[in-house]
């Protein structure tokens, strides 16, 4: 579901008129939504999905910035298009938001689930993916078998992956049952497959990985495969961190 706004706001966002002037245009019967003339105020339209026209000419919203949080399912690539034609995270949202080039901000592995940001704002992407953007990222890792306290302590103090020593991480065991252990781990770097490699470095195999938090922005109870717009508070926080 795309963002829904009142018709007069949509007209103002398209740049065709101020909100006040848009109300007059609606009163005068000059505005149609999906081919139907609308003369009452306050009708809601969905950006990217409903067709709004003024005097018969389509009104598009240009330069609108989208900031999205997706609960990425496993089995999707974090790119716009995949060379092997696997499903992409953009496939999930492109039916809801048409005609806008939205791309993932950073990436999660093909098999990893959870919190992925997407946007059409290059500046936002640059900020959030910049190596200096040391924001904590929290994951729930499910590993095969168990992990010793020694292993947890090594994750906490830093391990070597590909000649790189990871900075101190937060790690705690959440649960252990049926031959699997779940560990909550927070890191602030973003090396390729970092969490999986960190567990490998302490002799553990990750069989499930989900990102639940970036800084203070949380996935919460957003179902797998669903997305929502970030709140303006979340966008400002990420932009200004």
Distance CA 104, CA 190 (A): 15
Catalytic residue among 109, 136, 162, 175: 109
Smaller CB distance to ligand URA: residue 33 or 183?
183
Write down the least CB distance from residue 209 to ligand URA, Å.
Answer: 6
Residues 6+ apart with CB under 8 A from 178: none
Rounded-to-integer distance, Cα 9 and Cα 31, Å: 13
CB of 199 to ligand URA, least distance (A): 8
Residue placing its CB nearer to ligand URA in the complex, 7 or 128: 128
d(C-alpha 49, C-alpha 151), whole Å: 50
Active site residue 162: no
Among residues 198, 199, 231, which one has the least CA distance to residue 217? 231
Helix or strand or coil: residue 137?
Answer: strand
Q: Which residues of the shown chain bind ligand URA in the complex (CB under 6 A)?
A: 108-109, 112, 193-196, 209
CB 121 → ligand URA: shortest distance, Å?
22
CB of 52 to ligand URA, least distance (A): 39
Q: Pick the closer one to ligand URA by CB: 112 or 119.
A: 112
Catalytic machinery residues: 109
């Amino acid at each position: 579901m795309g963002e829904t706004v009142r018709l007069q706001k949509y007209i103002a966002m398209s740049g065709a008129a101020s909100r006040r002037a848009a109300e007059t245009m609606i009163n005068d019967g000059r505005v149609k939504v999906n081919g139907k003339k609308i003369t009452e105020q306050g009708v809601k339209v969905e950006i990217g999905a409903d067709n709004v026209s003024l005097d018969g000419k389509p009104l598009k919203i240009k330069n609108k910035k989208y900031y999205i949080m997706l609960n990425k399912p496993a089995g999707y690539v974090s790119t716009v298009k995949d060379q092997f034609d696997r499903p992409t995270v953009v496939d999930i949202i492109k039916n809801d938001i048409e005609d806008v080039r939205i791309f993932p901000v950073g990436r999660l592995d093909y098999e990893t689930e959870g919190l992925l940001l997407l946007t059409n704002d290059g500046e936002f992407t640059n900020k959030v993916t910049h190596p200096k953007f040391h924001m904590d990222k929290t994951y729930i890792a499910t590993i095969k078998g168990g992990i010793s306290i020694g292993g947890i302590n090594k994750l906490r103090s830093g391990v070597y992956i590909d000649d790189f020593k990871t900075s101190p991480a937060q790690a705690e065991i959440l649960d252990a049952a049926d031959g699997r252990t779940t560990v909550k781990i927070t890191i602030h770097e973003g090396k390729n497959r970092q969490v999986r490699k960190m567990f490998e470095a302490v002799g553990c195999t990750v069989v499930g990985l989900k990102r639940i938090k970036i800084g203070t922005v949380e996935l919460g109870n957003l179902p797998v495969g669903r997305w929502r717009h970030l709140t303006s508070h979340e966008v400002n926080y990420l932009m200004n961190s």
